Amino acid sequence: LEKQYYIGLMSGTSLDGIDAVVADFSSTAPTLCSHSHTPFPSPLKKQLADLCQAGFDGVHRMGEADVALGRFFAETVNALLKKSKFSYDDITAIGSHGQTIRHYPKGAHPYTCQIGDPNIIAAETHITTIADFRRRDMAHGGQGAPLVPAFHQAVFHSSDKNRAIVNIGGMANVSILPKEKNKPVIGFDTGPGNTLLDAWHQQHHDAAFDKNGEWASTGTVDSTLLNTLLQDPYFKQLPPKSTGREYFNLNWLRTFLKNSSLPPEDIQATLTALTAESILSCGLETHAIEEIYLCGGGVYNHTLMNRLQQKSPCSVFSTKTLGIPPDWIEALAFAWLAKQTFSHQTGNLREVTGARNTAVLGGIYFA
Ligand SMILES: Nc1ncnc2c1ncn2[C@@H]1O[C@H](COP(=O)(O)OP(=O)(O)O)[C@@H](O)[C@H]1O
Ligand SMILES: [Mg+2]
């Protein structure tokens, strides 16, 4: 069977860096051939973080960041090729998610914005690049997110067990995969994943995140605060729904902390519980879920994992159990989406995003 190599590039809401994979899709189960995680240099990280909120001359700053990030994506690909001894002409196409700087799926003019110029990626890698996956779904009335459930269904569906795949990145999203193939897949953002944990940790420590959830483990979950946070309308909203750091951020948290005298570690513990509880209320009982598989950086937060395991009505595993380490699922999903587009196949699920139609997603920038 002829190999079909694609590259996936993912940089999520955590702004921790770029995950890149080379994968072979010549059989149903994709083979992960090579991978890399490249942290953002701090000036680029700051440039991107600043764009996630309102500020002076955003159009100009976005234009510059689009180019800077496009170059960084291209360098990442070239370094990955070198390391893994692939040549650019082995690769059919790159699927690049881009960096989300705004996601407003509701309102009169819903829009989503991912940057990292694919023209530059194609020019500097000599590989056909596919990007801008979300806006075609939005053009059909969808939320543009989440897009990974179609990939989860294609790769992780089981005809023996009802499964849920949960990605805990900056935001957390779930895919519910019923064992009966005629039942619809359900997928949505459950709310914040690591984003509030990272932000609150950064307020109190000189590090980007709460390593292994150690700080949270020294605090006590405050059930009153937890229940108040869980009253946020987003958690009650029925799917399709998607969200981002423009909604769940420190300002959001502060509105609930006004007169709070809780020690900061208790707040970290409570935020950790918020991520766990909002994931577990995704309808596990309703859909008779038998197995949960977790991926994304949140898997390395032991306090979060312990809480999920204790409170879950069913078994909780890492996607490693299914043969793909949790770190590479999202990048692999964008390699898969590139393959879908390149072979004129659709990439969105109507029942997930709420789009009127399925569509071949993204724009193709030929090498
Ligand atoms: N050892 C760890 N302990 C605790 N949290 C971790 C650890 N490693 C990664 N993380 C969390 O995972 C996040 C990155 O996850 P990732 O899946 O890359 O998210 P995104 O897709 O939003 O970039 C980090 O910001 C951090 O919160
Ligand atoms: Mg990341």
Say what the pLDDT of residue 309 is: 97
Q: Say how many Å lie between the CA of residue 258 and the centre of ligand 2.
A: 31
Distances (CA, A) of 212 to 78, 85, 290, 303, 312: 31, 33, 26, 7, 20
Nearest CA to ligand 1 atom 12: 297
Please give the pLDDT value at position 28: 84
The CA distance from 62 to 58, in Å, is 6
Closest ligand 1 atom to 14 CA: 22
State the pLDDT confidence band at 207, using cuts at 50, 70 and 90: very high
Mean pLDDT of the region 339-344: 98
Query: Could you read off the pLDDT of 34-68 as tens digits, one per residue?
Result: 999 999 999 999 999 999 999 999 999 999 999 99
Average pLDDT over residues 111-121: 98
- Ligand 1: residue of 9, 11, 14 to mutate (most ligand atoms within 8 A of CB) is 14
Q: Tell me how far the alpha carbon of residue 194 lies from the centroid of ligand 1, in angstroms.
A: 7
pLDDT at 18 (0 to 100): 98
pLDDT band at 279 (very low <50, low <70, confident <90, very high): very high
Model pLDDT, residue 1 = 79
Tell me which amino acid residue 184 is: P
pLDDT value at 195 more than 90: yes
- Region class of 114: left (phi > 0), else alpha (psi between -120 and 50), else beta: beta
Question: How confident is the model over 301-341, as pLDDT tens digits?
Answer: 999 999 999 999 999 999 999 999 999 999 999 999 999 99
Model confidence band, residue 259 (pLDDT cutoffs 50, 70, 90): confident
Best CA proximity match to 316, nearest among 328, 302, 327: 302
pLDDT digits (tens, 9 = 90+) for 117-160: 999 999 999 999 999 999 999 999 999 999 999 999 999 999 99
pLDDT value for 236: 96
Residues with CB under 6 A from ligand 1: 12-14, 16, 169-170, 194, 197-198, 209-213, 296-298, 300-301, 330
Written as one string, the DSSP assignment of 199-244 is: HHHHHHSSSSS-GGGHHHHTS---HHHHHHHHTSHHHHSPSS----
Beta strands in the chain (DSSP E): 5-10, 17-24, 31-39, 91-96, 99-104, 111-115, 129-131, 163-168, 171-177, 186-192, 291-295, 315-318, 363-365
Q: Ligand 1: which residue has its CA nearest to atom 7?
A: 300
Q: What is the model's pTM? A: 0.97
Arithmetic mean of pLDDT, 343-359:
97
Q: Which atom of ligand 1 is nearest to the CA of 208?
A: 25
Answer whether the bond into residue 240 is a cis peptide, omega within 30°. Answer: yes
> Which ligand places an atom closest to the C-alpha of 39?
2
Tell me which residue has its CA closest to atom 10 in ligand 1: 297
Whole-angstrom CA distances from 258 to 155, 225, 251, 261, 268 are: 45, 11, 11, 9, 16
Ligand 1 centroid to residue 296 C-alpha, Å: 7
